[in-house]
Amino acid sequence: MSPGIRAARGGDARAAHGSPAVAPAGHAERTGAERAHHRIFIAVALAPVLREAIALIQHRLAVAGADLRWIPPENLHLTLKFLGAVTTPRLARVTEAVHDAASRTRSFTITLGGLGAFPSARRPRVVWVGVTEGADRLSTLAGDLDIELGRRRFPREHRPFQSHLTIARVRSGGPPPDLSELLAGLHDLALGSQPVEAMFVMESMLHPSGAIYHPVEEAVLRGTG
């Protein structure tokens, strides 16, 4: 968790009553912190061995002629919920929701394999690796998380959760490439397995060179069911 987030959570900017008065020292700083927005999502981290395996697949596709915008290996993750802009006070509610969902969930194992594209391989926008085992447990975890966030007045998901790992996006401008033949040969590819033992609240920092992700909070899965 970044020092800035910790400091903002501790602020307590109370509204003045009656006639306007001179704001106490630090009031402007606290008000600014409360208005600050963080670009937030909740995810499962990817094991290093799977990052390496996916980097090899990305290279294989690039050599085969797939001109895509590749996700850097260090940014690969399994998104459970994307929230977007969240104020600092609301960020505390996000971490509460994540811990509550984690407290009822025990660790499990997932296996990654097979490549596909949304909305289709012929006209793709996103290229992904699938979850061949443990997808049901991942979906249940995402559903529990969505419920806990909904209780804290965050928007609920209206589409069913689809377990996948985004590895590339199609570059904007021009028609999308037809990847049907290229991906057909990788439909049954097996990449490996990893345990899912925690969820992470992540902040996405946008830079000219691309997004950089910072972990804000870790919630270890402690459930017994």
> What does the pLDDT look like over 128-164, one tens digit per residue?
999 999 999 999 999 999 999 999 999 999 999 999 9
Catalytically annotated residue among 17, 77, 207, 214: 77
How far is Cα 60 from Cα 224, in angstroms, rounded to an integer?
A: 41
Q: What is the pLDDT of residue 57?
A: 95
Concerning whether 164 is annotated as a catalytic residue, the answer is yes
The answer to whether residue 146 is domain-embedded is yes
Q: What pLDDT, on a 0 to 100 scale, did the predictor assign at position 118?
A: 94
Domain-embedded: residue 28: no
Token pair recorded at residue 4: 């800035």
How far apart CA 98 and CA 95 sit, in angstroms, is 5
Would you state the pLDDT for residue 1?
40
| Non-local CB neighbours of 205 within 8 Å, separated by 6+ positions | 39, 211, 212, 213, 214
CATH number, domain containing residue 68:
3.90.1140.10
Domain-embedded: residue 117: yes
User: What is the distance in angstroms between the CA of the first residue and the CA of the last residue of the chain?
Assistant: 29
Residue 6 domain-assigned (yes or no):
no
Active site residue 99: no
27, 99, 164, 187: the catalytic one is 164
Sorting pLDDT into bands at 50, 70 and 90, what band is 77?
very high
What does DSSP say about strands 68-70 and 210-220: parallel, antiparallel, or unpaired? unpaired
Domain count, the chain: 1
Residue 68: per-residue pLDDT: 92
Q: Is residue 8 part of a domain?
A: no
pTM recorded for the entire structure: 0.80
Domain for residue 52, yes or no? yes
Residue span of the structural domain in which 167 resides: 36-220
* 113: in domain: yes
Q: Is residue 27 part of a domain?
A: no
Count H helices and E strands in the chain, helices first. 6, 9
Distance separating alpha carbons of residues 115 and 88, to the nearest angstrom: 37
